[in-house]
Amino acid sequence: MRVGQMAMQGLVYLASLKTPVDATYSPHYYGPRSEGVAEGITRLWRSGCLREEAMAVGSPAYAYCLTGDGERLGAEVAGARGEGYPAIREVVGACRELCGMRPAQMAHAAKIHYMAEHNRRPGAGVAEIVDMGRRAGWKMDAGDVGAGLGLLCRLGIGRWQARA
């Protein structure tokens, strides 16, 4: 399955909430972004573990998928550091099931969690999340927040899980 860089950023951010991931995030238009994750994607591509394809003709955006070497590396890492693997599989499975790996819902979920943590408002309601997003420069409406909360609830992340 091809996944764009923003979707990969969202996946890693959400996975980092369930298992230790060494990444520092900062706000970005599309949600929390880690330069370390972007560099890791580039290293995997350069080493032949990821294949890069333009998402559309003439588009500056790229999608990635694992090569055979990437599949082998993933299996090796899962075997050597298996403690986090079930959590990563859970996040990937939920994102496939709920949003088909499209980045918008993952970005909304990541933005909601990031804002709630940085504003010390875990479990904030929809209107408050929309307002926090507006102040942060992130345009999200109630539907976007609902989609993001749905993913967070499905993953059991934060205080929203009781609302599902």
Comparing CA positions, the residue from 163, 128, 144 lying closest to residue 31 is 144
The pLDDT > 90 percentage for the chain reads 52
What's the pLDDT tens digit per position in 80-133? Answer: 767 778 888 899 999 999 999 888 999 999 999 999 888 888 778 899 999 999
Per residue in 123-145, pLDDT (tens digit) is: 788 999 999 999 988 989 999 99
Chain centroid, CA 84 distance in Å: 16
Q: Facing residues of 160 across strands?
A: none
Contacts of 4 (CB under 8 A, 6+ apart): 55, 61, 62, 63, 64, 103
